[in-house]
Structure 1
Amino acid sequence: MSAKPLAEGQPARIRGRTAVALAVVVSFWGLILVDEMVVNISLAQIAEALQLSQTELGWVVNAYLLPFGGLLLLGGRIGDILGKRRVFIAGMALYTVGCLSRAVAPDAWPLIAARAVQGTGAALATPCVLALILNTFSEGPLRRRAIGVYTIAGGTGAAIGLLVAGALGATGSWQLQMLLAGVIGLALLVVTPAVVAETPRQSGRFDVPGALLSTVGLVSLVYALANSTGDGWRTAPVIACYATGVVAFALFVLVTKRTREPLLDLGLFTDRTRVGAYLVLLLMPGTQIGIFFFLSQYLQMFLGYTAMAVALAFLLVSVGMVGAAGLAARLEPRLGARTVVVLGALMLLGSNAWLMRMQAGDSFWTAVLPPLLFVGAGLAFTIIPATIRATTGVDDEGSGSASSVVNAVQNIGSSLSLAIIVAVAATAGAAAAANPPSDLPAEALDGFVFGESMTAGFATGGVFAVAAILAALLIRSRRSTDTHVAAPRQEEVRTNV
């Protein structure tokens, strides 16, 4: 990508080398999400092949999640200071090394170490993906279209990952499944220097205390959320991590206010529109995680679908998202981001409400197909304008930090919403098992319990959608104001404080 923003007056079409560069950077973002799905599906096979204990298997997941979630803010700041392309390539290289190393890991701890390297690389590269887009395209139709492409790459990653996992799973080789992302990463590493231009480096120094506090806070919070499913949230380590996270973030804010060149400009949070956009992005995962979580089980348990058939069914979400992305980008400047986000959240609310009515044995075509299409369209209508508003008014020098906040709130939102939905569903399932209908046959009890859990999960997804509508009300409806929201410099924030 060229570091010089394209002119506002150009038509909303991305051509030539810029289009190739955009495809490369969003491909890596999509690769991260595809690989995450492949790893999750391959865990059972890996555990059997390497004779992993449940503790070791848990660390295969956490060794990636903790550095990925914990280092996002630092990764964005490093990109601002050292150059976003340079840090993007370094992160991509680390990620690729981790992917290749895990494929040849002989036992648990080399595999866990490789996953930690992979997570560190993802934390460095991910904020630079969106930051490179912001540095390349000035605010206007081209940036909206580029953010739409970025959103589609992220939104379709899970569905494509299911297909890839299903296809590779047939080979019976977990090493081959782990190797694929490394091979693609190598290809992207070769292409990136030729098509992606470097951005100007920002003079400054690293905020070491802020980096340590933000990393401790994010790592503690991500670990606590990842282990809060079921009764896990009641355990002493999880409670301690929640407390550590709160204290670390409180100290981070205090240190940031008194630091000349902080890790994160707190001015990003002084604008109502941007805060509303952050909240929408935080809540969005909760509107659809339960749909994927429960429908994958429903389609296999009650309709007899294979894993590959489930993956194909979930591609409908991608179809809905791709179909709606262009429309969402065009409507955002005309109707205002608030209106478009509310329309999208209403689609997601309707999808969850539709699925709540589903009964065991209902047809896929009438019970599942329509809400899946609306999920994809709803995600496009919410995520694209929210991302646009979250990054509007951010100058090139702070685009890495601003992008890392977008990634961080989405990452935390995914962990938080999954923990809440699983906890609510488990409570509903326990209540159903304890008080089943008196005339329910014994062989139907498991299906009844699952159905009650699933309904509770969809209801919780609807609550997240309602919360997103309320958060969207913070976004200013006046389009002229929205277009020129600027993040105050840190000096201004300190003066006001």
Structure 2
Amino acid sequence: MSSSVSANPAAGDAAPSAQAAGLAQVAKAPGERQARRPRPGLALAVIAGCNAMIQLDDPIVNIALPGMRADLGLSTVAASWVLSAYLLVFGGLLLLGGRAGDLVGRRRVFLVGVALFTAAAGLRALAPTTEILVALRAVQGVGAALAAPSGLALLLSMFAEGTARKKAIAVCTAVGACSTAGGLLLAGALTSISSWRWVLLLNVPLGLAILLLGPRVLDETARNRGRFDVAGALLSAAGAAGLVYGLSRAADHAWSDPTVAGPLAGGVALMAVFVAVESRASQPIVMLRLFADRGRVLAYLATLAIPGSLIGAYFFLSQFFQQQSGWSALAAAGALLPVPVTMAVTATFAVRFERRLGPKRMMALGATALAAGNVWLSQLDAGDAYAPHVLPALLLLGTGMALSVIPPTVLATSGLRSDEAGAAASVLNAVQTMGGSLGIALLVTASADRGSFTDSMSVGFTTGAAFAAAALVAAVSIRSKSA
């Protein structure tokens, strides 16, 4: 689930459906006035906007990175930490962020997360040194880890399971794709005409708008009685951080390198201990019963695999357009727009497709389109024209992403008790983050040392097709009653 919001007609369509289906019970804190009448359309816009803000940040930083290196004199290691500091903290604290929302209040944790993220995003544009820049990226990771799972849990509490929730998830997917499209163009344009510092401010206005509207349109959810599982929180944070760090290092180091193998082994060991501790905890940070549902587990596996089927398009094609074809950064960004635009358009029709096909077939069709798009691009060679050799594959990738992302999100968040929403949302976000790190690590590893750039790119897209095939296997393995 992703997304940025503006006036999206689909959000208006979701509102009456949510009202007709009914809203989950909202609790009042002591001394709080009677809850306001819910405004699900605006509330959905706020949640979608938060997802858009978080999703947009990664391409913004990547586009701004060359300017940062030149201005601040970043070494290769320092530049990698600008990216890794955020991922480590975000991935490590996601499970804790979901649990915090259950205990403290999801709206409260959501708004605190957005405030931290927005403040750090604004201050990083003023960062005078590498150390301050990396520290602010870590603070952004804390904010994202609080806001992302709490936002999804708020959506689950607002929109009843069924058509209303599916429409809300589809709207978030469409809005996220639109934000990616607009962000690519804006970042490319700003890179060409101004400083990297202005690029880093792109998602700050969105964060401020969320903080202005959020308290007015989001109602607080009931707080679950309990306490923080400190041991589980520490183990999950350290284990997830070790896995994310090891995978990020694997993108440009051998898997046998101690800085790769060590964190990965440590992360796996810590997560094994985490599972053992959680199975005995009276109030675990993640309820292991979430994984007793076959459909939910397969949805998590599909969510893990899907990012690897799209990463190659941005990673390889941006280099192909600029290095092989001599295009500007802005032209390269424009050439990639068919992916998010097609994804946004397809997502607006996703609920209709799901009614006719069912989530299992819809997800399988999406994974097949992703595999076909990657296989198509694996045949790309220097000198090939854009329209006949690239554009059709990008349309397949955009369509495939919309069809394959929405069903597992719905399956992973269905059949939950009220006290499970935060945990389910945090696990889903953690799996997505891990999938992105795993995807880039395996794509870069598989394509390394292949001779020419086009040979490396071909192997990378073949690897992307393998990720899509894994998502397809997960889709066809879902039992019909789960789907």
- TM-score scaled by length of structure 1: 0.88
Aligned to 1:237: 259
Letter in 2 for 1:297: Q
Q: Following the alignment from structure 2 to structure 1, what is the Cα–Cα distance between the partners of residues 209 and 178?
A: 21
Letter in 1 for 2:413: T
Residues 1:176 and 2:198 aligned together? yes
Judged with a 3 Å threshold, the aligned counterparts in structure 2 of structure 1 residues 371 and 16 are, in CA distance, closer, same or farther, namely farther
Secondary structure of the 1:263 match is: coil
Aligned to 2:121: 99
Letter in 1 for 2:124: R
Letter in 1 for 2:458: T
Counterpart among 309, 321, 325 of residue 331 in structure 2: 309
Judged with a 3 Å threshold, the aligned counterparts in structure 2 of structure 1 residues 335 and 9 are, in CA distance, closer, same or farther, namely farther
Kept in 2, the 8 Å contact 1:328–1:385? The answer is no
Q: Following the alignment from structure 2 to structure 1, what is the Cα–Cα distance between the partners of residues 287 and 18?
A: 22
Residues 1:345 and 2:345 aligned together? no
Secondary structure of the 1:284 match is: helix
Kept in 2, the 8 Å contact 1:275–1:474? The answer is no
Letter in 2 for 1:374: L
Deviation at 1:419, TM superposition (A): 0.4
Kept in 1, the 8 Å contact 2:371–2:468? The answer is yes
Counterpart among 425, 430, 444 of residue 408 in structure 1: 430
Which digits, 9 at most, give the CA deviation of each residue in 1:404-433, with x for residues without a partner?
111111100000011001011114x1xxx3
Letter in 2 for 1:8: A
Deviation at 1:29, TM superposition (A): 1.0
Deviation at 1:66, TM superposition (A): 0.8
Judged with a 3 Å threshold, the aligned counterparts in structure 2 of structure 1 residues 231 and 59 are, in CA distance, closer, same or farther, namely closer
Which digits, 9 at most, give the CA deviation of each residue in 1:286-316, with x for residues without a partner?
1111122111122223333221122222221
Residues 1:202 and 2:205 aligned together? no
Judged with a 3 Å threshold, the aligned counterparts in structure 2 of structure 1 residues 9 and 52 are, in CA distance, closer, same or farther, namely closer
Letter in 2 for 1:456: V
* Gaps in structure 1 of 5+ consecutive residues: 434-448, 483-497
Residues 1:59 and 2:62 aligned together? no
Judged with a 3 Å threshold, the aligned counterparts in structure 2 of structure 1 residues 232 and 78 are, in CA distance, closer, same or farther, namely same
Q: Following the alignment from structure 2 to structure 1, what is the Cα–Cα distance between the partners of residues 334 and 38?
A: 32
Letter in 1 for 2:469: V
Deviation at 1:319, TM superposition (A): 2.1
After TM superposition, the structure 1 = structure 2 runs for residues 37-56 of structure 1, keeping only pairs within 5 Å, are 37-56=59-78
Secondary structure of the 1:97 match is: helix
Deviation at 1:156, TM superposition (A): 4.3
Judged with a 3 Å threshold, the aligned counterparts in structure 2 of structure 1 residues 412 and 156 are, in CA distance, closer, same or farther, namely farther
Judged with a 3 Å threshold, the aligned counterparts in structure 2 of structure 1 residues 114 and 54 are, in CA distance, closer, same or farther, namely same
* Gaps in structure 2 of 5+ consecutive residues: 1-13, 24-36
Q: Following the alignment from structure 2 to structure 1, what is the Cα–Cα distance between the partners of residues 462 and 259?
A: 30
Deviation at 1:16, TM superposition (A): 8.8
Deviates more, 1:318-327 or 1:37-46: 318-327
Deviates more, 1:181-190 or 1:89-98: 181-190
Deviation at 1:21, TM superposition (A): 1.4
Larger of the two Rg values belongs to structure: 1
Letter in 2 for 1:463: A
Letter in 2 for 1:169: T
Kept in 2, the 8 Å contact 1:87–1:125? The answer is yes
Deviation at 1:76, TM superposition (A): 0.5
Counterpart among 266, 276, 285 of residue 298 in structure 2: 276
Q: Following the alignment from structure 2 to structure 1, what is the Cα–Cα distance between the partners of residues 348 and 181?
A: 20
Judged with a 3 Å threshold, the aligned counterparts in structure 2 of structure 1 residues 219 and 289 are, in CA distance, closer, same or farther, namely same
Deviation at 1:469, TM superposition (A): 1.0
Aligned to 1:472: 475
Aligned to 1:446: none
Residues 1:8 and 2:21 aligned together? yes
Deviation at 1:395, TM superposition (A): 2.3
Which digits, 9 at most, give the CA deviation of each residue in 1:244-297, with x for residues without a partner?
101111110110010111000111111111111111110001111112211112
Aligned to 2:140: 118
Kept in 1, the 8 Å contact 2:95–2:426? The answer is yes
Kept in 2, the 8 Å contact 1:68–1:123? The answer is yes
Kept in 1, the 8 Å contact 2:303–2:431? The answer is yes
Kept in 1, the 8 Å contact 2:175–2:344? The answer is no
Aligned to 1:420: 442
Q: Following the alignment from structure 1 to structure 2, what is the Cα–Cα distance between the partners of residues 267 and 159?
A: 38
Aligned to 1:453: 456
Deviates more, 1:286-295 or 1:327-336: 327-336
Q: Following the alignment from structure 1 to structure 2, what is the Cα–Cα distance between the partners of residues 128 and 9?
A: 20
Deviation at 1:358, TM superposition (A): 2.1
After TM superposition, the structure 1 = structure 2 runs for residues 113-262 of structure 1, keeping only pairs within 5 Å, are 113-262=135-284
Give the number of equivalent residue pairs.
456
Aligned to 1:440: none
Which digits, 9 at most, give the CA deviation of each residue in 1:374-429, with x for residues without a partner?
111101111001111111101232211101111111100000011001011114x1
Deviates more, 1:319-328 or 1:133-142: 319-328
Judged with a 3 Å threshold, the aligned counterparts in structure 2 of structure 1 residues 252 and 471 are, in CA distance, closer, same or farther, namely same
Q: Following the alignment from structure 2 to structure 1, what is the Cα–Cα distance between the partners of residues 219 and 279?
A: 34
